[in-house]
Amino acid sequence: MTRLLAIIAVAALAAASPPLAAQPARAPSPEAAVPTAALQAPYEPQLLRLSEIIGALHYLRTLCQGPEDGAWRREMQSLLDAEAAGGERRERLVQAFNRGYGGFEQTHRTCTPAARVATRRYVTEARRIVADLTSRYGN
């Protein structure tokens, strides 16, 4: 978790590939037999929100700053690698990323002042989430 938070904190200060695709199905993991609610980390809602923000920033950065190197998509991949190797949890995080990406893709075709404001607000919110997660759950 600490490694993940450090990666995200650095990426939140940085910023066009399409949304993440769901990973192909894998063999059921041992956690598949346990109810999802029992496996859910206490910081799951914050990770889902962070995933959604990263998706939105991925789209907005491309829209307002032109082609980029996929930094936000890589950060999402790092989050997935650290927090959800597979299964339902990974799917929920990917869906949150795609929801953030798709929400702006549907409404913004050009960079507008509102898109720039949204970018600044999302970076601020992402920093707040990372700081909160680090202070509560970091080692």
Q: Are 90 and 84 in contact (CB under 8 A)?
A: yes
Planar angle of CA 137, 39, 26, nearest 5 degrees: 115
**Structure confidence at residue 129 (pLDDT):** 96
pLDDT of residue 20: 52
Give the separation between CA 45 and CA 29, rounded to whole angstroms: 22
CB 78 within 8 A of CB 7: yes
Exposed / middle / buried, residue 98 (Cβ in 10 Å: 0-12, 13-18, 19+): buried
Dihedral over Cα of 127, 133, 136, 139: its sign = negative
Domain ranges of the chain: 2-15+43-137
Query: Helix, strand or coil for residue 118?
Result: helix
Answer whether 73's CB lies under 8 Å from 101's CB: no
Per-residue confidence in pLDDT tens, the chain, 139 aa? 544 544 444 444 343 334 455 444 444 444 444 455 545 789 999 999 999 999 999 999 988 887 767 889 999 999 999 888 788 999 999 999 999 999 999 999 999 999 999 999 999 999 999 999 999 987 6
What is the dihedral angle through the alpha carbons of 31, 133, 13, 107, rounded to the nearest 10 degrees? Answer: 70
Residues ≥6 apart with Cβ < 8 Å to 1: 82, 83, 133, 137, 138, 139
Q: What is the Cα–Cα distance from 91 to 71, expressed in whole angstroms? A: 21
